[in-house]
Structure 1
Amino acid sequence: MSKVLVVDDEKSMRITLSEFLSNDGYETASAPDAQSALKMIEEEEFDIILTDIIMPKISGIELLSQIREKSQTVQVIIMTGEPTVDTAVKAVQSGANDYLTKPIKRDVLLKAIRHAEQIKLLNDEKLILEKENLIYQKGLEGILLERTTALQNAMQGIITLLSSVVEARDPYTAGHQRRVGNLSAAIADRMNLGTKVVEFMRIIGYIHDVGKIVIPTEILSKPGTLNPLEMQMIRTHALSGYDMLLKVDLPSFVGETIFQHHERCDGSGYPRGLKDKDITVEAKIIMVADVVEAMMSHRPYRPALGLDAALHEIQQNAGVYYHQDIVSSCVELFRKDYYEIEDLEHKIHFPI
């Protein structure tokens, strides 16, 4: 089981939360303030840190920032008794993995901790794969065939792991990234953009929503309409995905494309409001594939709308939200080539 540090200036809160966790098999420790917590973190390793926001001298947000300077994999869950839009958004932007509103019920706490534990394990595995990838790059320079195979396998592992991280957090869209990746690759192929672009489109599609691992599960799987705070938090995932991929050995345009996949050609998208000429062709393909797949699939808040509705949406907004040539290729793919959305995870042929 994971090791959890509870940080709160209220003794009763520390005792109650620690007891909840201990009874569920977690190894726990507690600290009355951020200073004590930082000292404990220096002396021993924790998998999950559960911290209050409002504390004397050093706040939970400041504690979070200092933790993130040392580790990106430790899961940090913020607790607050006074939730506001600014506080919640600042917590997520500072690197919080989840947040809980006081008073905290036992089942809500344990659900959040279990999600954090799962993400921590996946992130640790990702680091191991990245280290293996680095070893391959440094150690197999003289044997081209072996090096290529090793890099392909390591990259396949990293892409698969990044994709599975999102699915662990967002079960309602399990397979969404694979379907978007496969559709994006098919569109690029129909546009005769070349093998290299086709393979990169599949890779980008498979991980385009990786930034959603920072979004609380309750928001990702919410069955109703999102409120303004929740929508604002959802919209941080494009930047979060971009920041995460800066640390992975992938070409820079992969992260930039993921950063742009919710932009729109008329400038009405997010997070930067980019217009047509500033958006990569890869992002323009992903945005079309993303919309089509999403409309064709079930979501917690609505049933699947079907292919006709999806194609009507992109055709109606071709030249406005979406690039005309990409829309035409996508429509022809379904109408002339009889393409069918597929869940299969293809073996990635990484263009080296």
Structure 2
Amino acid sequence: MPKDINYTKERILFVDDEPNILQSYSRSFRSTFAVSTALGGKAALDMLDSSPPFTVVVSDIKMPVMDGIKFLSRVRELYPDTVRMVLTGYADLNIAMSAVNQGDIFRFLTKPCHPDDLIKAIVSGINQFRMIHSARELVVVRRMKDALEGTLRAFTRLVEFRDPYTAGHMDRTAEISALIATRLGLNPDVIQGLHLAALVHDIGKIAVPSGVLNKPGPLSDAEFAIIKTHSLVGSEIFETLETDWPIQRIVLEHHERIDGSGYPNGLKENEILLESKIIAVADSIDAILTTRPYRQASGKDDCIKFLEEDKGIKLDSDCVEAGIALLKEGLIFKDLPF
């Protein structure tokens, strides 16, 4: 048994029709596991029904009233996550096959079984139990993440209905952000969170009057002040969002600049989250390469020139270099004729 892992809280149930054998199990393993015993299959089912779940059940086969095969079959039906094991002195082929087929047995052990061998088998059962639960939790988490992405994409449509010039902008910014993050070597989970945040980074524009959003000429100071509120509004929208990803913070910070000239809080350098710095670059790339109400789209060379001018001043150097490399390699907006 691994010395650095504690199994003392793992609930193990031993089932047998011999009280002396059950007492021996209790004495031998109570310092290693949380051991319970049951005298026969019926008593074991009653115990399973009235107590918290057991991780592993170890049962004899030859028992009166309810034999081990019938008992383990019921455990399989009622408590499918509990790992089921046989420890018997009657180890013929037919019994073994019945146990495996009807009880879905994890281990088939024969008496006498050395305590160390039994401990190893139980630990393997515990690890099997943990693996099953981890896999199930992973499926749940993935479903939750998929549902979250669907919800966030619905939010982006709300903004795009009001502002045709941002149609596709948040999707494109999300794609560019993911490319930059991948080039920087961020781990996939961080990139997924960044992608989701980028999908909604301009969600706060839902509170900006459409006349300001779609104004074809330069904005007045008052109009620009209204535009600048969208980071705060977007942050407030996601204030109660429960997720391990810092989506709210990224939405709030995506217009911050490393020299402190950004908004809404004038953050500098390491005060700004890396994901926010990445979106700042991706947002700039998309803004330059696509048409806006107040100007036509520029080409790749102009975009690279702009990024070089702001590198290390307003925009993070590493993020800019990654973005420029992607532009030069033609990995951003492959369908545009640069």
TM-score range, shorter chain: 0.5 to 0.7
What is the CA distance between 1:147 and its match in structure 2?
2.6
Secondary structure of the structure 2 residue equivalent to 1:305:
coil
Pick from 126, 149, 153: which aligns with 2:146?
A: 153
Matched, 1:268 2:277: no
What is the CA distance between 1:168 and its match in structure 2?
1.4
Q: Deviations over 1:31-79 (max 9, x none)?
A: xxxxxxxxxxxxxxxxxxxxxxxxxxxxxxxxxxxxxxxxxxxxxxxxx
Larger radius of gyration: 2
Matched, 1:245 2:233: no
In structure 1, the residue matched to 2:319 is 326
Matched, 1:217 2:210: yes
Matched, 1:170 2:152: no
Q: In 2, Cα distance between the equivalents of 1:144 and 1:321? A: 41
Secondary structure of the structure 2 residue equivalent to 1:299:
coil
Check the 8 A contact 1:246/1:252 in 2, yes or no. Answer: no
Secondary structure of the structure 2 residue equivalent to 1:327:
helix
In structure 1, the residue matched to 2:77 is none
Structure 1 counterpart of 2:264, one-letter code = P
Q: In 2, Cα distance between the equivalents of 1:271 and 1:319? A: 20
Q: Give the aligned CA root-mean-square deviation in angstroms.
A: 2.1
In structure 1, the residue matched to 2:333 is 341
For structure 1, the 5+ residue unaligned runs are 1-140, 344-352
Q: Deviations over 1:121-163 (max 9, x none)?
A: xxxxxxxxxxxxxxxxxxxx99536534531332122111111
- Pairs within 5 Å for 1:3-82: none
Q: In 2, Cα distance between the equivalents of 1:169 and 1:250? A: 28
For structure 2, the 5+ residue unaligned runs are 1-133
Q: In 1, Cα distance between the equivalents of 2:142 and 2:239? A: 24
Aligned-residue identity in percent: 36
Q: In 2, Cα distance between the equivalents of 1:245 and 1:285? A: 20
Q: Deviations over 1:146-184 (max 9, x none)?
A: 534531332122111111111112111100000000000
Q: In 1, Cα distance between the equivalents of 2:256 and 2:284? A: 12
In structure 2, the residue matched to 1:183 is 176
Q: In 1, Cα distance between the equivalents of 2:138 and 2:191? A: 23
What is the CA distance between 1:256 and its match in structure 2?
0.8
Larger RCO, structures 1/2 (Cα 8 Å, 6+ apart): 1
In structure 2, the residue matched to 1:197 is 190
In structure 2, the residue matched to 1:291 is 284
Change in CA separation of 1:306 and 1:147 when aligned onto 2, cut-off 3 Å: same
Aligned length: 203
Q: Deviations over 1:317-341 (max 9, x none)?
A: 1110011111111111121x32132
- Pairs within 5 Å for 1:131-142: none
Q: In 2, Cα distance between the equivalents of 1:317 and 1:340? A: 19
Structure 1 counterpart of 2:333, one-letter code = I
What is the TM-score of this pair, normalised by structure 2?
A: 0.57
Change in CA separation of 1:142 and 1:306 when aligned onto 2, cut-off 3 Å: closer
In structure 1, the residue matched to 2:275 is 282
Structure 2 counterpart of 1:338, one-letter code = G
Q: In 1, Cα distance between the equivalents of 2:135 and 2:269? A: 44
In structure 1, the residue matched to 2:124 is none
Q: Deviations over 1:216-274 (max 9, x none)?
A: 11111111111121111100000000111112233462111111111111011111111
Change in CA separation of 1:292 and 1:338 when aligned onto 2, cut-off 3 Å: same
